[in-house]
Structure 1
Amino acid sequence: MKYAIKIHKISTVDELENSWNIEDYKELLERFELPGTETTDLKELRELLYMAITDKEPSEAAAIVLDYKLSNELNEGQIDSVSHEMLVDKISEEYPRIELHQTLFNVNQLLYKAFNGKFPNAKATIVDFEITPKANAEKNITKEIALKCFAKNLDSHNVIIRLFGHQLDADEPFEEANDVIWGLQKNGDSYRLITSEYFMSKEEFLSPEFEAKIDFFEEEA
C-alpha cells in the first residue's frame, strides 16, 4: 500500500496537554497529606501539589505518584525500584514495557517540574501532518500505518528502525506500534501523532513531504 505524507509541523515538548486533571491533583494531594483542598483551579492545585511533593525526598515522592498511576501494573518492589532509577535515568524511554512509557513520561515530567530539575527531563514529539492513501490503500489510518510510513522518512540510525526492522518489513505483526505511538488524533484531513522523542526526534526526519510504500504481516495458510 502506498501513501503520500505532508508534514506541517514537528514540535518537541516536555509536557502533554491534559495529562493531569483536577481529580488527579486532588487525589495526589490526599496522598501527599494535604487533603481537603477546596479550590478547583487547575493551576492553583498544581502549585499546591508541587509544594506537597517537594516536602518529600525525591524517591519517596516518585513512589507515591507511581503508586497512584501504576499500582495496577507494577508491584510494590517494582515501584520502589523505578522510583530510584528515574532519578538518574530517563525511565520513560528505557523501561522494557513500552505500554507504560507514556504514563512514566507524565509521572517523570510532573516530578521534574516539581523538583526543578532533579529528575531527567524527558521529551515528547508531536507531528501534525496530512496523509493521502494512493490507489487502493487502506483509508482508515491506524497507528501501524502511520508508524510504518514515518519510518520511511527517518534517519537510518533511528531507534524504531533498529528495534523493529522485522515488523516494519512485515515479517512479523507490529503490535508494538500501538504503544510506540501514544496518540493519533484526526481532525478533518489532518492528523496529529504523539510519541516519545526517544522513538522520533525532530532532527531525524528527512523530508517534509514524501511517499511511503508499506506492507502488512500475513499469516501463512
Structure 2
Amino acid sequence: MKYAIKIHKISTVEELENSWNLNDYKVLLERFDFPNAESTNINELRELLFMAITDYEPNEAAAIVLEYKLSNHLNEGQIEQLSHEMLLDKISEEYPEINLHKDLFNINQLLYKAYNGKFHNTKATVVDFEISPLQNADATITKEIVLKCFAKNLDNHTVVLRLFGDQVNAVDPFEEADDVIWELEKKDTNYKMTTSDYWMSKDEFLNEEFEAVIDFFEEE
C-alpha cells in the first residue's frame, strides 16, 4: 500500500496533555495524607500534590503513584522494585512491557516535576501531519500504518527501526505498533501522533513530505 504524508509540526514535550485529571489529583492527595482538598482548580490541586509528595522519600512517593496507576498490571513486589529503579534509570523507556510505557512516562514526569529533578527527565514526540492513501490503499488509518509510513522517513539508527525492523518490513506481525504509538488522534484530514522520544525523536525525521510504500504480514 502507498501513502503520501505531509508533516506540519514535530514537537518534543515533557508531559502529555490531560494525562492527569481533577479526580486523579484528589485521590492522590488522599493517598499522600492530604485529604479533603476543596479546590476545583486543577493547577492548585497539582501544586498541593507536589507539596504533599515531597514530604515523602522519592522511592516511597513513586510506590504510591505506581500503585494508584498500575496496580492492575503490577504486583506489590514489582511496584517496590520499580519505585527504586525509577531513580536510577529511564524506566518508561526501558521497561520490557512496552504497553506500560505511556503510564510509566506520565508517572515519571509527575514525580520529576514534583521533586524538581531527582527522577530522570523523559520526553515524548508529538507529530501533526496529513496522510493520504494512494492507489487504492486502505483509507482507514491505523497506528500500524502510521508507524510503518513514518519508519520510511526515519534515520536508520532510530530505535524503532533497530528493534522492530522485521515488523516494519512485514517479515513479522507488528502487534507492538499499538503500544509504540501512544495516541493517534484524527481531526478531518489531519492527525496527531504521540509516542516516546525514545522510539522516535524530532531530529530523526528526514523529510517534511514523502511517500511511503508499506506491506503487511501474511501467514504462509
Alignment TM class, shorter chain as reference: over 0.9
User: Counterpart of 1:111 in structure 2: which amino acid?
Assistant: L
Structure 2 partner of 1:10: 10
How many angstroms does 1:79 deviate by?
0.4
Is 2:107 the partner of 1:107? Answer: yes
Give the equivalent residue in structure 1 for 2:72. Answer: 72
Q: Could you say which residue in structure 2 is the equivalent of 1:146? A: 146
Instruction: Give the Cα separation in 2 of the matches to 1:162 and 1:124.
Output: 19
Deviations 1:60-84 (A, max 9, x none): 0000000000001000110011111
Structure 2 gap ranges (5+): none
1:1-221 to structure 2, matched below 5 A, reads: 1-220=1-220
Distance in 2, Cα, partners of 1:110 & 1:9: 25
- TM-score with structure 1 setting the length: 0.99
2:137 counterpart letter in structure 1: A
* Counterpart-to-counterpart distance in 1, 2:168 and 2:9: 24
Question: How far did residue 45 of structure 1 move?
Answer: 0.3
Q: Give per-residue Cα distances to partners, 1:176-204, cap 9 Å, x unaligned.
A: 00000000000111000000000000000
Deviations 1:31-68 (A, max 9, x none): 00000111111000000000000000000000000000
Q: 1:43 and 1:168 mapped to 2: Cα distance?
A: 41
Give the Å deviation of 1:26.
0.4
**Count of paired positions:** 220
The offset of 1:172, in angstroms, is 1.1
Give the AA of the match of 2:150.
F
- Percent identity at matched positions? 72
1:171 positional shift: 1.2
Structure 1: how far apart are the matches of 2:4 and 2:128?
14
SS at match of 1:207: coil
Using the TM superposition, give the Cα deviation of residue 7 of structure 1 relative to its aligned residue in structure 2, in angstroms. 0.3
Q: What SS does structure 2 have at the residue aligned with 1:60? A: helix
Q: How far did residue 169 of structure 1 move?
A: 1.0
How far apart are the structure 2 equivalents of 1:74 and 1:215?
Answer: 35
Shift of 1:165: 1.0
The Cα of 1:88 is off from its aligned counterpart by 1.5
Residue identity opposite 2:145 in structure 1:
I
Q: Aligned-pair RMSD on alpha carbons?
A: 0.5
Distance 2:188 2:203 in 1: 27
TM-score normalized by structure 2?
0.99
